[in-house]
Structure 1
Amino acid sequence: MTPTEGAPAPLPDAVEDPLLFRLAPKSWAPYLQLARLDRPIGWQLLLLPCWQSSALASASAGAAPRWADFALFFVGAIAMRGAGSTYNDIVDRDIDARVERTRARPIPAGRVSTKAAAAFLALQCLVGLCALLSFNGFAIALGFASLAIVAAYPFMKRVTFWPQATLGAAFAWGALMGWAAAFGALAPAPVLLYAGAICWIIGYDTIYALQDVKDDAVIGVGSTARLFGDRVVEAVGAFYAAAVLLAGGALYAAGVGGFAALGLCAYGAHLGWQVVQLKKGGGAQAPGALALSLFRSNRDAGAHLALGLIAEAASRALAGG
């Protein structure tokens, strides 16, 4: 964004000049930043496992993609990504004030009070609840179960070097939800997809955390980027390999192939490309711009798998299962 009088300070990892910020009243800008609407990659990465799981369920049943569920997951992902980010900023306001990348966020910068942020959090949760209540009872209960992980996440960096694992458990939850919304139950296929998505998220969030390694070390908070150190390329590669193998297991358990297998191959190739680029860029010493770019590219990686599954479901439905 180009700073203008009264405009919010652009955050380091925000997209440039987002349309929503130009259209919305300037007084809304700090709340849009709290919801990370200037960084859509967050809700996109939260949404993709939901769509993958829903399409996997449809393909397994020989049915067309459940487009109404896709729309509900879209609304829910934006609302709950915003709610989770707002909650995280409330909890981490003192830490954010001491980290270069986050000190300009609305709460530590003094542009939103903690009380106002809490009210905004409640509003976003209400939107997410409306989307969740549109599903069956099992999916509703499963959705509520994820809140314990979401609530714990901001505190994990204070007690462990593995906050990325907790983030993975939360962000991958959609890999269970899509199947649950279709069948009102779980099965090995979505559980394998969920495990693979956790590995994927640990990998890409480790890359993201490379931006904060120096500040995190000074403050004394943990991350897998700090833990892996000079072995970060090998560690990310291992998690990405596990993500592909587990996703392949999910496809096998669901009895799908064809377009889904092509999507899986494209997904694996993209993750492999990221590892190569990370190594070329210096691994643990990779510039922040490279780390952010590779992190953002996971939207495309996850979309490859989702589109393969959607195409497989659609083709099976057209062929009569």
Structure 2
Amino acid sequence: MSARTPSSPPAPPSAPGRLALYLNLIRWDRPAGWLLLLWPTLAALWMAADGFPGWHLLAVFTAGTILMRSAGCCVNDVADRDFDRHVKRTAQRPVTSGAVSVKEALLLGAVLALLAFALVLTTNPPTIALSFPALAVAIAYPWAKRVLNMPQAVLGVAFSFGIPMAFSAVLGGRDASVAGVAASVPAAAWWLLLGNLCWVLAYDTEYAMVDRDDDLKVGIKTSAITLGRFDVAGVMAFYALFLASWSALGHALGMGRWYQAGIAVGAAQALWHWTLIRDRSREGCFKAFRLNHWLGAAVFAGTVVDLALR
């Protein structure tokens, strides 16, 4: 009888296999996540520039949004790895499953954030200054779920910080000083940020409704748990606050009927989402969340058309 041969350890993934894991980590196959950040940022960029902002700023904010969302996924998955293994939908994420190490994920996130910062460096000092609190809020969000009853509000600030940065990049000028942030960002931009925060609360509450049962078991705090039986009403109230505030602020900034038409199309989508989430099914809530970027696209399209036809 031949001697038993010890089993060999599994071979590490090939380079293409490693790349696939990294792309999975940053949700490359799910662009809805970065589109939710991109549309309000680009709408603000067009408003600040009173039309097309130029290819440079368009490239900076588009690529920067994708990079920072991807970096955020790396940090979030590291922070949530002990929770995610108890949730069926997230148990096979690369960090949670062990396919990608914590060190690898953090290193990838750091590289992506540095690339985004390199893009910001091509703008102006006030925008560079705003990038630091934007990064701090983005890093803080994963841990907010441990202490805040509605951590989606922190996510809302993180997802909306591109709005004041867009105004700063357009209005600040390359010769502006870091101290010129206040002069570069009008009050309307901060109000747009707060309004957009309400939209984030709407769609991320829908997302939290999908995992509510699992989140209750593992002890994560979410807006869906906090709102309880008023979750659907809360989502619709957040939609209404977002659309009403952006409608009023757009009017104050001189936006016209085509912009308001975009807001109306967004409102129609919000009403459709109510039909998806009213019975609180996982499938309906996840579909509403996943398709929210079309609501943002409608508002952005209205912005572009309105400014182009002036």
Alignment partner of 1:155 out of 107, 126, 143: 143
* Aligned counterpart, 2:222: 223
Count of residues in correspondence between the two structures: 287
Alignment of 1:5-154 (within 5 A): 25-59=16-50, 63-154=51-142
Aligned to 2:164, the other structure's residue is in SS state helix
**Contact 1:188/1:253 (<8 A) preserved:** no
Higher alpha-carbon deviation: 127-136 or 296-305: 127-136
Determine whether 1:296 maps to 2:293: no
Greater CA radius of gyration, 1 or 2? 2
Counterpart CA distance in 1 for 2:307 and 2:222 is: 38
The alignment yields a C-alpha RMSD, in angstroms, of 1.7
* Aligned counterpart, 2:260: 261
Partner amino acid, structure 2, of 1:299: H
* 1:141-184 deviation digits (Å, cap 9, x = unpaired): 11222122112101111112211111111001122222111112
Counterpart CA distance in 2 for 1:120 and 1:43 is: 17
Counterpart CA distance in 2 for 1:126 and 1:147 is: 11
User: TM-score scaled by structure 1?
Assistant: 0.85
**Contact 2:53/2:170 (<8 A) preserved:** no
Higher alpha-carbon deviation: 303-312 or 250-259: 250-259
Partner amino acid, structure 2, of 1:229: G
* Aligned counterpart, 1:18: none
Structure 1 gap segments, 5+ residues each: 1-5, 9-23, 317-321
Counterpart CA distance in 2 for 1:193 and 1:218 is: 36
* 1:201-228 deviation digits (Å, cap 9, x = unpaired): 0000000111111111011111011111
Counterpart CA distance in 1 for 2:35 and 2:66 is: 8
Counterpart CA distance in 1 for 2:293 and 2:21 is: 25
Partner amino acid, structure 2, of 1:203: A
Counterpart CA distance in 2 for 1:255 and 1:175 is: 17
**Contact 1:192/1:249 (<8 A) preserved:** no
User: TM-score scaled by structure 2?
Assistant: 0.88
Partner amino acid, structure 1, of 2:296: G
* Aligned counterpart, 2:179: none
Aligned to 1:107, the other structure's residue is in SS state helix
**Contact 2:276/2:287 (<8 A) preserved:** no
Counterpart CA distance in 2 for 1:50 and 1:154 is: 22
Q: Does 1 or 2 have the higher relative contact order (CA < 8 Å, sep 6+)?
A: 1
Cα distance change, pair 115–135 in 1 and its aligned pair in 2 (3 A): same
